[in-house]
Amino acid sequence: MKKKDIHQIVRVNHAGELGAKWIYQGQLDWIKDAQAKEIIRHMYEQELDHLKYFEKVMQVRQVRPTILMPFWKWVGKTAGAFSAALGSDAAMACTEAVEDVIDEHYASQIRHLEKERPDEIELINTLKTFRADECNHRDIAATYDQSPSPLKRTLKKAVKIGVKLAISVSKRI
């Protein structure tokens, strides 16, 4: 694994945590349900910690951010606001979908680093911690309202496609 690969991991994770920050901010701006708002606020605060970590790592390792940061901000805030405007069930469905993709994404990075760069102990352990946080967010969102609906299924599919696309693009640009 080359330095370029580590930079790619840091860049895409920074973009993802920035996107998560803005999704949760959009939800907080629009959500009406006080219980859901408190849950989202807690998740938002954890995402801010994740973002701060990647901002620090980017500076130390001299990693350039994705040039799409303004776009991801707009997309994240719009997705968060849209899902929250549909109600707490939709906001939690959005959160569940995002965090499900991020679970897979972090797991893949961890496996790759453990195989190719086991010397990156701090990064590996941090990714494991952040992955646990993201899985917790997903699990909380999944249990918030378990009633199935075509809208929630469609929203989850759309969000998952969008997050996978954002990851792919942010690796390169």
Q: What local confidence, expressed as pLDDT, does residue 3 receive?
A: 63
| Structural domain that includes position 89 | 3-172
Q: Tell me, what's the pLDDT at 46?
A: 95
How far is it, in rounded angstroms, from Cα 32 to Cα 127? 32
Q: What is residue 2's predicted lDDT score, i.e. its pLDDT?
A: 67
CA distance 123 to 105: 14
Q: In three state form, how does the secondary structure of the chain look?
A: CCHHHHHHHHHHHHHHHHHHHHHHHHHHHHCCCHHHHHHHHHHHHHHHHHHHHHHHHHHHHCCCCCCCHHHHHHHHHHHHHHHHHCCHHHHHHHHHHHHHHHHHHHHHHHHHHHHHCCCCHHHHHHHHHHHHHHHHHHHHHHHHCCCCCHHHHHHHHHHHHHHHHHHHHHHHC
What domain count does the chain have?
A: 1
Give the model's pLDDT for residue 163.
87
pLDDT in tens, the chain (173 residues): 566 789 999 999 999 999 999 999 999 999 999 999 999 999 999 999 999 999 999 999 999 888 888 888 899 999 999 999 999 999 999 999 999 999 999 999 999 999 999 999 999 999 999 999 999 999 999 998 777 788 888 989 999 998 898 888 887 77
Nearest to 141 by CA among 52, 15, 23: 23
Crossing angle for the helix pair 121-144 and 88-116, nearest 10 degrees?
A: 160
Q: What is the CATH number of the domain that holds 46?
A: 1.20.1260.10
| Distance of alpha carbon 22 from alpha carbon 126, whole angstroms | 21
Residues sharing a CB contact under 8 Å with residue 48, sequence separation 6 or more, in sequence order: 21
Q: In this predicted model, what pLDDT tens digit does every residue of 51-88 receive, in sequence order?
A: 999 999 999 999 988 888 888 889 999 999 999 999 99
Distance from the Cα of residue 160 to its chain's centroid: 11
